[in-house]
Amino acid sequence: MSAAKTHTVWVTGSSRGIGLAVAEKFARKGHRVALHCVHRVETLTRETERLRATGLNVMQVTGDIASEADCFRMAHEIAAVFGPVEILVNNAGIALEEKLLTDCTAEELARVAMTDLVGPMLCAKAVVPHMVSDRAGSIVNIASYLGITGCSCETPYAAAKAGVIGFTKSLAAELAPSGVRVNAVAPGYIPTEMNAEFDEETVRAIANDIPLGRLGSAEEIAEAVYFLAMEETASFITGQTLAVDGGSSL
Ligand code: NDP
């Protein structure tokens, strides 16, 4: 029996949280995985070395996904070590603290839009040419259930994530003739550093509001990303957004 095909995978924002769980999932399945972040590089290095110490084939790249130059440089660095990116997981993202739109500065609105919406497009721009020439490849964007439902006091974030869903559909249509698939996962509430500011009582109230009655885990998101990314499981799926949110978007 021939061994399953392995791929070069770039998971953006994989120094912690959901991205780290996704990177670990692909690496444990035997793929060559580039971990990534921009700010806390020591955390990224620690996690990359932790995975490498268990025999996994991982490397790290650093750069701001809101910078086109950084995105192209990182794609080249990955290609030089592991070969061109064949699976891109656009996971890196930021959120502001909850506040009214009228309390957000123009700089904050631009920062969220650049990181959460333009950044994934720039990463895709950097890897799509090779995917198209290879007539293969897959992109999974991490949206959010808030991009489906909308959310008071999280307008910039929810708007950017709704944009990610639109980006997913549009790029999927653009790349389908080239055999490249583009899908999204829309997570529900997952306890990570992104929402660490909520106290226990608030988190309990959030869990009670989720139809399945509990928070999700980063590993549950990683399972869905892996399913959508792989040709073996999702070869006829493109342009879709899979909510993995315990029913929050119902
Ligand atoms: P975390 O804050 O735990 O992790 C975010 C990751 O993105 C870190 O690795 C961070 O590293 C990196 N990052 C942030 N900004 C940039 C940037 N400009 N360039 C490169 N890397 C960057 O978040 P989560 O794991 O919770 O979230 C992951 C994704 O899932 C995000 O897109 C988020 O919007 C989405 N999501 C999360 C939900 C949740 O409940 N947690 C729910 C729905 C969606 P560093 O800052 O060190 O560079």
Per-residue model confidence as pLDDT tens digits over 136-149 = 999 999 999 999 99
pLDDT confidence of 197, banded at 50, 70, 90?
confident
Ligand 1 centre distance from Cα of residue 94 (Å) = 5
Q: Does 226 qualify as catalytic in the annotation? A: no
Alpha-carbon distances, residue 160 vs 174, 185, 198 (angstroms): 20, 14, 22
Atom of ligand 1 nearest to the CA of 193: 3
15 CB under 6 A from ligand 1? yes
57 CB under 6 A from ligand 1? no
Instruction: Give me the mean pLDDT over the 42-53 stretch.
Output: 98
Q: Which residues pair with 35 in a beta bridge?
A: 60
Ligand 1 centre distance from Cα of residue 194 (Å) = 7
Element spanning 140, H or E:
strand 138-142
151 CB under 6 A from ligand 1? no
Residue 46 in 3-state DSSP?
helix
Which residue has the CA at smallest separation from atom 36 of ligand 1?
144
pLDDT confidence of 3, banded at 50, 70, 90?
low
For 71, other C-beta atoms within 10 Å of its C-beta total 25
CA 127 – CA 152 distance, rounded (Å): 35
Can you give 74-91 as a three-state secondary structure string? HHHHHHHHHCCCCEEEEC
Contact 246, 210 (CB under 8 A): yes
The answer to whether the predicted template modeling score (pTM) of the entire model surpasses 0.75 is: yes
What's CA 105's distance to the chain center, in Å?
26
pLDDT confidence of 200, banded at 50, 70, 90?
very high
